[in-house]
Amino acid sequence: MWIARPIYEVLPYVYMVVGAVLLGFAWFSSALPGVLLGLGSLSMLAGIVIWLRRKDYRTRQAEYNSRSLDD
């Protein structure tokens, strides 16, 4: 599955913003605060995990020589 680069780059931030909004709704909502709290926490966690994994991948790729072994 291929995702366009602009969407791919923004996706973790979208997850974190949606999570923050859901956590805010859970704080002020009287209907289903537990569900909103759970979904908001999961969304925030997903955004942070994706962001950290991308950061780690890019750091590790920069450490290796990109030339072929045959060169």
Residue boundaries of the structural domains of the chain: 32-59
With CA atoms as reference, report the closest residue to 44 among 18, 11, 71: 18
pTM score, two decimals? 0.78
Tell me the average confidence (pLDDT) per consecutive run of 10 residues in the chain, 71 residues long: 86 96 91 92 96 90 68 55
With CA atoms as reference, report the closest residue to 40 among 21, 19, 24: 19
